Amino acid sequence: MMYATRKLLAANLTTQILVALVVGTVLGLILNYWSNPFLENNLVNGLFGMIGQMFLNALQMLVVPLVVFSLLCGVIGIGDIRVLGRVGGLTFITYLATTALAVTTALVFASLIGPGTGFSGMHLADQNVAVASQQTAWDILANIIPKNPVHALANGEMLQIIFYVVVVGVAVLMIGSKAKAFVQGCEFMNELAMKIVEIVMAFAPIGVFCLIARTFALEGFSLFAPVIGYLTTISLTLVFHLCVTLMVLLYAFTGLNPRSFLRKMRSAQVFAFSTSSSNATIPASMQCVTQRVGVDRSVASFGIPLGATINMDGTAIMHGVATVFLANVYGIDLGLGGYLTVISISVLASIGTAGVPGVGMVMLAMVLNQLGMPLEGIAIILAVDRLVDMMRTVVNVTGDAVVTTIVAQRVGKLDHSVFNDPNAGTLDVTHLEIDHGAEREFAKLTHAKTDV
């Protein structure tokens, strides 16, 4: 058992996660083909569902404390408060620009390929699809300031958390040397949070295996045939945006090798694919960007959580392709005005959208409603939304990392020596061993207090 545990915590964790992803996919498809009720109830929805949910809960457990203490330390240690404003503004504008570029690319691809033309698929039954509240840009900006910080922390409201933590960090700098003990406490809590991230990520192969096996055991590939044109178009667009658009931007603004960058981000991408949640992937993204790519913590602690909330490149691509697909199904001519509407709504809707599974479908309902298209058309693509959600989350997370790296380069906070080291940031089993000397010392201290 001890040997197996040590093998699990071996340095090449990314390879183990990829193996778990492949094995889980194959097993899931086999279970879907057999379609055994006993296995579905006790293994797929039972054991796999339980372990997968435990792993997701563990990841989400890390998000708020990691963001709070990492961002606090980043704001306090940034060196020049003017740099913070530059980082924030540059990050925000770049995220919106890449989202607009993503949805524009999707509309171009969808127009050229023409998915949905001559569609003859399932019956378009009425669907009770929720439409996201259509807030104005002013409402969205106003709600960034939390009425109750504790409520924002408890509910994981990223924009509100970021705003509050930045204000606290600035206030600490204004207090000056009297806040030294508080700063030391934040540094310790940040180190503690990162260590917990390492512990959870060490068991990622098991969690990824269960999540992927359950997904494909329940979905299979049989549901994909009626919408193969839609699925093909969106897959090609997502791959193009990730491998071409984002990598060209990365090389143009940083000079970094795109292949090395993708290799270093691989574990975070697998997390994104298996969880379908940008928020749940924040711990993995933070570790990859800071320890593998070399982005300074002061930039990464701001860029990654913000990106998980407002950077929705993959979701914007889904909006573009799905809108053209459904327009072709219904024989609707969107025209230039319709395309511009899709672009503007997708960009604005990405601000403040929760980075959780399935939110893209709710936002799509808002886009269709704005264009006056029937919402029941969503029923056509619901069958493949889980797989599309997994793929677009990978693009979202990669986009977060690319923009954060570009911003770090622009403000002089990117360590190229870390990026050029292929072994930088890899998980080592020795990092997760108990410090037995400290263990004995703490035991003595506890016994001494108990005796008193």
Q: Give the model confidence (pLDDT) of 366-379 as tens digits.
A: 777 777 777 767 76
- Mean pLDDT throughout 350-355? 55
**Which of the four pLDDT bands, split at 50, 70 and 90, describes residue 430?**
very low
Number of C-beta neighbours around residue 336 at 10 A: 7
Residue 2 lies in a domain: no
- Looking at per-residue confidence, does 397 or 143 come out higher? 397
- Phi and psi angles of residue 179, each rounded to the nearest 5 degrees, phi first: -95, 15
Residue 451 belongs to some domain of the structure: no
- Give me the CATH number covering residue 149: 1.10.3860.10
Q: Compute the average pLDDT of residues 281-285.
A: 87
Residue 365 has pLDDT above 80, yes or no: no
pLDDT confidence of residue 126: 43
What is the pLDDT averaged over residues 23-31?
A: 87
Is 6 inside a domain boundary? Answer: no
163 located within any domain: yes
Choose the weakest-confidence range: 126-135, 167-176, 193-202, 386-395: 126-135
Q: How many helices (H) and strands (E) does the chain have?
A: 23, 0
Predicted TM-score (pTM) of the model is 0.75
Q: How far is CA 20 from the centre of its chain?
A: 19
In this structure, the dihedral spanned by the alpha carbons of residues 157, 261, 391 and 197, taken in order and rounded to 10 degrees, is: -40
The number of residues making up the chain comes to 452
Specify if 104 maps to a domain.
yes
Q: Is residue 200 in a domain?
A: yes
Question: What pLDDT does 390 receive?
Answer: 84
Count the neighbouring beta carbons within 10 Å of the beta carbon of residue 228. Answer: 12
The candidate with the shortest Cα–Cα distance to 283, out of 355, 213, 343, is 355
Domain count, the chain: 1
Burial of residue 432 (number of CB atoms within 10 Å: 0-12, 13-18, 19+): middle
Residue 449 covered by a domain: no
Task: Give the per-residue pLDDT at 10.
Answer: 44
Mean residue pLDDT across the chain = 79
In which domain, by residue range, is 161 found? 13-442
* Higher per-residue pLDDT: 101 or 64: 101
Distance between CA atoms of residues 55 and 211, nearest Å: 9
Rounded CA separation 183/144 (Å): 25
Lowest mean pLDDT among 108-112, 207-211, 236-240, 383-387: 383-387
Within a domain: residue 373? yes
What integer is the mean pLDDT of 347-356? 59
